[in-house]
């Protein structure tokens, strides 16, 4: 470590006097402890929302899509809005774990596990909508090109809705594999700490016999890097394909080449906001403030600000192109967004997505946990309205004025959305109690370069280890007065 050079400008990523054992103890604590009353209350609320959502889904499928607020003109609304919203939220997880890995961002290590969990759980929510918005969901398996008795009747590979099937299913499976691979050393840690036989059995099963040999670690790192390299184009292409649902159409307001990058930017924007919302709560309730620091929150805020600005640029580009195009339909589509019957949705989208992230330019604001939390929720509201505005305001007024109409959701539309939120939190709450929510193996790999204890040792010019007379190597630790010693702690 003496030869290690770390720029003194870098702030510690692990706060406090934390050694390897402290990391294990802190991260295993929620898994090994018992759920408190608050967890059960929140879990019950989420479960109730989920059950309500299941009821709404059963009602929709058994009675028909007519229970929704859709009509012949606006035939996509809350269903696809929620689908794109959930897919978008899922994207930050892969971004954090894959793209930030490629860019060697050490700060990702405290947040990637939960971000990936968020990806998995929100892609599951998203995956519900393509099924339940079908008129005949029991024939959904027809979208899969399987040989069959209809003379091997095939699917048409020209539809972005089919690409969605491949995109979402690939995305979910790759994310799941990536996530689980990263979990192996951590499950191994929980397994090795477990004292109850049942827990031991479960974590032995899910950790796949991880023993942490040098060869395992070497391959683990390679696999992570390869998967990160695969997941990065995947994350860009998945939301691109989702955006193709609209961009490849002929609807004014949809037919735009800007959609693929703009949707991806919006996905990162909303996904990071969701990570922010979840982690600000999680660091508090799981006592992980030493790992998910204000610096992490600030860096996420910066990503939110950057992607928010990209989204803002896209909005302005769309408006400019609409004016510049000279196509009266497109001009009207944007005039209708701004001044039509859904002006309030457009205004909400603009203010939440373009204005709110801009306050992150102020350091005082982006390092404030409270403001970050509020902004992260505001951003997700705004991003929901972005999808709603794009879908509904383009559909409800297009080429033929005789087809102009309005859209209003029914309680079933709303119930299903609430149900997916409930389902998401049910999964996330269960995850937070059973999974190591921080990748301890990864955090331990940066502990000595970025931990506060080791940084201060380096700053004080002290060795990190001391070899005692009996040959035992001991870590140098800091006592409460801040003096450094090599004891038997």
Of the candidate spans 90-98, 134-142, 344-352, 388-396, the one that interacts with another protein by CB under 8 A turns out to be 134-142
Nearest approach in angstroms of CB 144 to another protein is 16
Closest to another protein by CB, 131 or 226:
131
Task: Specify the pairing of strand 465-467 against strand 484-485.
Answer: unpaired
Is the separation of the CB atoms in 263 and 239 below 8 Å? yes
Nearest approach in angstroms of CB 138 to another protein is 5
Nearest approach in angstroms of CB 152 to another protein is 18
Decide: is 150 part of the binding site for another protein (CB under 8 A): no
Of the candidate spans 15-23, 131-139, 142-150, 166-174, the one that interacts with another protein by CB under 8 A turns out to be 131-139
Closest to another protein by CB, 136 or 284:
136
Distances (CA, A) of 327 to 91, 320, 330: 34, 12, 5
Nearest approach in angstroms of CB 139 to another protein is 7
Is the separation of the CB atoms in 436 and 27 below 8 Å? yes
User: Which of 139, 250, 400, 459: binder of another protein (CB under 8 A)?
Assistant: 139
Please, what is the end-to-end C-alpha distance for the chain in angstroms? 20
Query: Of all helices (H) and strands (E), which one includes residue 113?
Result: helix 112-132
Decide: is 136 part of the binding site for another protein (CB under 8 A): yes
Is the separation of the CB atoms in 316 and 52 below 8 Å? no
Closest to another protein by CB, 136 or 468:
136
Is the separation of the CB atoms in 77 and 413 below 8 Å? yes
Of the candidate spans 100-108, 133-141, 234-242, 439-447, the one that interacts with another protein by CB under 8 A turns out to be 133-141
Nearest approach in angstroms of CB 57 to another protein is 18
> Residue 272 has which token pair?
């990071």
Decide: is 472 part of the binding site for another protein (CB under 8 A): no
Cα–Cα distance, 378 to 405 (Å, whole number)? 29
Closest to another protein by CB, 136 or 201:
136
Is the separation of the CB atoms in 466 and 473 below 8 Å? yes
Q: How many CA atoms lie within 13 A of 132 on its CB side?
A: 31
Closest to another protein by CB, 141 or 198:
141
Distance of CA 184 to the CA centre of its chain: 21
Is the separation of the CB atoms in 410 and 308 below 8 Å? no
Of the candidate spans 53-61, 132-140, 155-163, 401-409, the one that interacts with another protein by CB under 8 A turns out to be 132-140
Closest to another protein by CB, 33 or 209:
209
Nearest approach in angstroms of CB 448 to another protein is 45
Cα–Cα distance, 322 to 331 (Å, whole number)? 5
Strand-pairing partners, residue 451, are 14
Question: Binding mask 232-261 vs another protein (x if CB under 8 A, - otherwise)?
Answer: ------------------------------
Question: Binding mask 307-336 vs another protein (x if CB under 8 A, - otherwise)?
Answer: ------------------------------
Q: At which residue do the structure tokens 């996509």 appear?
A: 76
Closest to another protein by CB, 138 or 198:
138
Q: Which of helix, strand or coil describes residue 474?
A: strand
Nearest approach in angstroms of CB 112 to another protein is 37
DSSP-assigned letters across all residues of 175-223: HHHHHHHHHHHHHHHHHHH--SHHHHHHHHHHTTT----HHHHHHHHHH
* Eight-class DSSP state of 18: -
Decide: is 131 part of the binding site for another protein (CB under 8 A): no
Nearest approach in angstroms of CB 136 to another protein is 7
Q: Which of helix, strand or coil describes residue 100?
A: helix
Decide: is 138 part of the binding site for another protein (CB under 8 A): yes
Of the candidate spans 58-66, 135-143, 193-201, 316-324, the one that interacts with another protein by CB under 8 A turns out to be 135-143
DSSP-assigned letters across all residues of 417-440: HHHHHHHHHHHHHHHHHHS-SS-H
Contacts with another protein by CB under 8 A: the residue count is: 3
Closest to another protein by CB, 5 or 138:
138
Q: Which residues bind to another protein, rule: CB under 8 A? A: 136, 138-139
């Amino acid at each position: 470590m003496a030869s290690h050079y770390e720029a003194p400008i870098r702030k510690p990523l692990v706060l406090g006097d934390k050694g390897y054992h402290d990391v294990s103890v802190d991260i295993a604590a929620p898994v090994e402890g018992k759920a408190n009353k608050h967890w059960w209350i929140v879990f019950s609320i989420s479960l109730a929302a989920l059950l309500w959502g299941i009821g709404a889904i059963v009602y929709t499928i058994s009675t028909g899509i007519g229970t929704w607020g859709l009509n012949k003109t606006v035939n996509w609304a809350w269903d696809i809005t929620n689908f794109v919203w959930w897919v978008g939220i899922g994207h930050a997880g892969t971004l954090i774990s894959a793209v930030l890995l490629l860019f060697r961002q050490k700060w990702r290590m405290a947040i990637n596990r939960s971000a990936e969990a968020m990806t998995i759980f929100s892609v599951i929510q998203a995956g519900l909508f393509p099924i339940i918005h079908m008129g005949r969901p029991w024939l959904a398996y027809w979208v899969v090109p399987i040989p069959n008795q209809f003379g091997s009747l095939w699917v048409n590979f020209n539809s972005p809705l089919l690409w969605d099937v491949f995109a979402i299913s690939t995305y979910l499976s790759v994310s799941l594999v990536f996530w689980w691979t990263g979990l192996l050393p951590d499950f191994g840690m929980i397994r090795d700490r477990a004292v109850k036989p049942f827990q031991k059995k479960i974590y032995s099963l899910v950790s796949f016999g991880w023993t942490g040999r040098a060869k395992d670690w070497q391959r683990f790192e390679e696999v992570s890097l390869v998967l990160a390299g695969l997941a990065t184009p995947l994350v860009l292409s998945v939301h691109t394909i989702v955006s193709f649902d609209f961009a490849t159409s002929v609807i004014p307001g949809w037919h735009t080449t800007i959609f693929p990058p703009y949707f991806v930017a919006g996905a990162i924007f909303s996904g990071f906001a969701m990570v922010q919302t979840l982690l600000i709560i999680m660091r508090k309730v799981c006592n992980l403030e030493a790992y998910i620091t204000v610096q992490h929150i600030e860096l996420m805020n910066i990503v939110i600000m950057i992607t928010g600005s990209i989204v803002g640029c896209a909005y302005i580009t769309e408006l400019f192109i609409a004016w510049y195009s000279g196509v009266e339909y497109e001009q009207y589509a944007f005039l209708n967004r701004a001044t039509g019957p859904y002006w309030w949705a457009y205004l909400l989208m603009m203010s939440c997505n373009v204005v709110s992230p801009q306050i992150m330019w102020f350091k005082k604001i982006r390092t404030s946990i409270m403001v970050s939390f509020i902004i992260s929720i505001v951003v997700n509201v705004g991003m929901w309205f972005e999808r709603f505005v794009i879908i509904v305001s383009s559909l409800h007024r297009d080429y033929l004025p005789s087809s102009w109409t309005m859209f209003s959701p029914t309680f079933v539309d709303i119930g299903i959305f609430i149900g997916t939120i409930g389902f998401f939190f049910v999964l996330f709450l269960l995850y937070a109690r059973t999974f190591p929510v921080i990748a301890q193996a990864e955090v331990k790999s940066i502990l000595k370069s970025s931990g506060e204890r080791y940084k201060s040792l380096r700053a004080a010019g002290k060795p990190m280890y001391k070899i005692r007379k009996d040959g035992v190597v001991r870590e140098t630790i800091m006592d409460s007065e801040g003096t450094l010693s090599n004891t038997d702690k």
